[in-house]
């Protein structure tokens, strides 16, 4: 279990507490980051969840302060993850009977995994992933028939 300290809009993954109390009103200063000098496809998976969160929060800060474009809307970012989860569960008999039931399940699954961001709602998931659900459901039915014969 990891712990973090949140102060205002800042989140500190590592906090050092001195033996003597700081002066009243002294700001909290995060420790030097352990991030690699350059992040690319070869080392991005070595980042901790807290380091990834720090990068995402810094990107959001830059968007606000510099009037930059957000890399991707959060809802779009999570929909591919929901699609992968749906595909992963598409073993014979693994999909729920209707797209709405599957979309409701995926909405709950994303909500369990993402606590501080807006998540896609059932209707959006059903609209975006409906065609893929249909293909997976057809394949699942075909696999069921094949295994029974």
Number of neighbouring beta carbons within 10 Å of residue 53: 15
Q: 95 vs 36, which has greater pLDDT?
A: 95
* Rounded mean pLDDT, 41-64: 78
Please give the pLDDT value at position 98. 93
Residue 12 carries which DSSP code? Answer: E
Residue 129 carries which DSSP code? Answer: H
pLDDT in tens, 11-36: 665 555 555 555 666 555 554 456 67
3-state secondary structure 73-91: CHHHHHHHHHHHHHHHCCC
Please give the pLDDT value at position 84. 85
pLDDT band, residue 105 (cuts 50/70/90): very high
CA distance 147 to 95: 17
pTM of the entire predicted model:
0.53
132 within 8 A of 83, measured Cβ to Cβ: yes
81 within 8 A of 127, measured Cβ to Cβ: no
Among 103, 100, 101, CA closest to 82: 103
């Amino acid at each position: 279990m990891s712990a973090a300290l949140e102060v205002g809009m800042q989140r500190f993954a590592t906090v050092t507490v001195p033996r003597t109390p700081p002066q009243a009103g002294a700001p909290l200063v995060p420790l030097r980051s352990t991030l690699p000098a350059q992040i690319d496809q070869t080392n991005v998976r070595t980042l901790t969840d807290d380091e990834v969160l720090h990068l995402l929060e810094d990107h959001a800060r830059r968007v606000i302060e510099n009037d930059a474009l957000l890399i991707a809307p959060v809802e779009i970012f999570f929909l591919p993850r929901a699609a992968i989860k749906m595909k992963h569960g598409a073993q014979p008999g693994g999909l729920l009977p209707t797209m709405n039931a599957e979309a409701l399940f995926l909405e709950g699954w994303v909500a369990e995994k993402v606590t501080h961001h807006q998540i896609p709602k059932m209707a959006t998931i059903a609209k975006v992933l409906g065609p893929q659900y249909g293909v997976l459901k057809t394949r699942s039915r075909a696999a069921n028939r094949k295994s029974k014969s």
